[in-house]
Amino acid sequence: MTALITPFTAPPTLAFRLGSRSVPRLRALALVVGGALLTALGAQLTFHLPWTPVPVTGQTLAVLFVAATLGMRLGVASQGLYVVLGAIGLPFYAGGEGGWTAATGSTAGYLVGFVIAAAVVGALAERGQDRSVLTALPAVLFGTAVIYAAGATWLAHSLHVSATKAIELGVTPFLLGDAVKVAIIGLGLPAAWRLVGDRRS
């Protein structure tokens, strides 16, 4: 328990803006768990399309938000925790699914993509890329592209289809919806920074 309450240097991200540069590890742990639960909640906002095994969900919105607000290490920890909790059987994946079969099924690449995207977007946020619309939008778009790449790659392998077919099933149907998500995060983060004050210290 002592290790949990020992302060650590917080990343210069939105989640820690109102606190000091040194915060208890217990608070960091709470943010990691909260980010995993938020992603699980987003996964329950599910709409299935008849021609693809990949559902439309609110997960990517949650992943990008958590990564940008927590930073790289805590963002990765949060998404890693989300994947693990779903894999051990909690109903955290899209539509309330969970278990090893769901974790390693045709959409497993997207789960891996969440963790990688958290690292990428979190690292960019720590460098201040989330504080301006001109840099936040490309950062979030890059994170989305990472999720697509990982998801479509595994989809092609799992379904034994070509890369073109995997993109048709796992990327194209979601472009419009994810464009909206990118806009929400890319515009929302700089606005939030303006509200709390963009102090780079």
Q: What is the CATH number of domain 25-196?
A: 1.10.1760.20
Please tell me the predicted confidence (pLDDT) of residue 197: 75
Q: Which residues pair with 153 in a beta bridge?
A: none
Which of the four pLDDT bands, split at 50, 70 and 90, describes residue 2?
A: very low
The mean pLDDT of the chain is 90
Tell me how long the chain is. 201
Which of the four pLDDT bands, split at 50, 70 and 90, describes residue 198?
A: low
- Percentage with pLDDT > 90 across the chain: 74
What is the tens place of the pLDDT at every residue in 30-89?
999 999 999 999 999 988 888 888 888 999 999 999 999 999 999 999 999 999 999 999
- Beta-carbon count within 10 A of 104 CB: 13
Question: Quick check: 4 pLDDT over 70?
Answer: no
Rounded Cα distance, 168 and 78, in Å: 30
CA angle 166, 171, 176 (to 5 degrees): 155
pTM of the full structure: 0.90
Q: What is the helix (H) or strand (E) element at residue 23, kind and residue range?
A: strand 22-24
Using the 8-state DSSP alphabet, how is residue 197 labeled? -
Domain ranges for the chain: 25-196
Please tell me the predicted confidence (pLDDT) of residue 27: 84
Q: Phi first, then psi: give them for residue 171, nearest 5 degrees.
A: -130, -60
